[in-house]
A and B are shown apart, each in its own frame.
Chain A
Amino acid sequence: QVQLQQSGPGLVKPSQTLSLTCAISGDSVSSNSAAWNWIRQSPSRGLEWLGRTYYRSKWYNDYAVSVKSRITINPDTSKNQFSLQLNSVTPEDTAVYYCAREGFGELSNWFDPWGQGTLVTVSS
């Protein structure tokens, strides 16, 4: 049974970098049949997909256009985890951030499970 455990600060100052980590148990970040995602949720923007990292003989990343210039998602194979870095944050980035495993079927994929969520507030 796959479990995801998030960690990271809940308060970030404007213009600084938001950093979160998602530790994986029950699966490998290097799995050829999964992708590792970050998703956020706020009252104003709802659920918003931010990006993912995955391994298919080499590492790939996909990012949402809305954050592409500010985001980095990195795998850490030594600790079996992956991280989110979002630069130059503003109060608009205040949200609950989730990590999620993306599983793949024959013609479909889905998010399961999700991490517990981390409320990140951007404020001075």
Chain B
Amino acid sequence: QSVLTQPPSASGTPGQRVTISCSGSSSNIGSNTVNWYQQLPGTAPKLLIYSNNQRPSGVPDRFSGSKSGTSASLAISGLQSEDEADYYCAAWDDSLNEWVFGGGTKLTVL
């Protein structure tokens, strides 16, 4: 059972916009920034969004992040087949004094 809650799966057709939610609590998302990671099949996770809504250089602006209260969201617009991957949210938890992750959302491009 992960500390942060994500839907196990999401899907969309090419060109569509999809969103993935991440729900936490006051000790993690409510107090700290959220990062998102993309994990393509057979590879290590890669930083996709940091500090709630910032994109590292090289990440397309089709990817965007937001946070409100104790929840965060990742949005992917203009969905492409190469976006098919697992997506994870993460935040520092002030009560546990640990990094915590969501269980991951498997995105399928139909």
Contact = CB atoms under 8 A, between A and B. Distances in A.
A55 interface: no
B104 A108 contact: no
Given A47-B88, A62-B97, A64-B98, 11 more contacts: A47-B101, A47-B104, A48-B101, A107-B51, A108-B50, A110-B50, A110-B51, A111-B37, A111-B90, A112-B47, A112-B56
A58 to B, nearest CB: 19
A116 B21 CA distance: 27
B51 A46 contact: no
Interface of B: 2, 32-33, 35, 37, 44-47, 50-52, 56, 88, 90, 92, 96-104
A64 B99 CA distance: 8
Contacts of B44: 98, 114-117
Contacts of A64: 98
Nearest to B51: A108
Given A48-B101, A107-B33, A98 B51 contact: no
Interface of A: 37, 39, 46-49, 62, 64-65, 98, 105, 107-117
A65 B45 contact: no
B101 A46 contact: yes
Contacts of B50: 105, 108, 110, 112
B9 to A, nearest CB: 14
Contacts of A46: 2, 101-104
A46 B99 CA distance: 13
Most chain A CB neighbours (cut-off 10 Å) among B45, B56, B102? B45
A52 to B, nearest CB: 9
Given A47-B45, A114-B44, A114-B45, A109 B101 contact: no
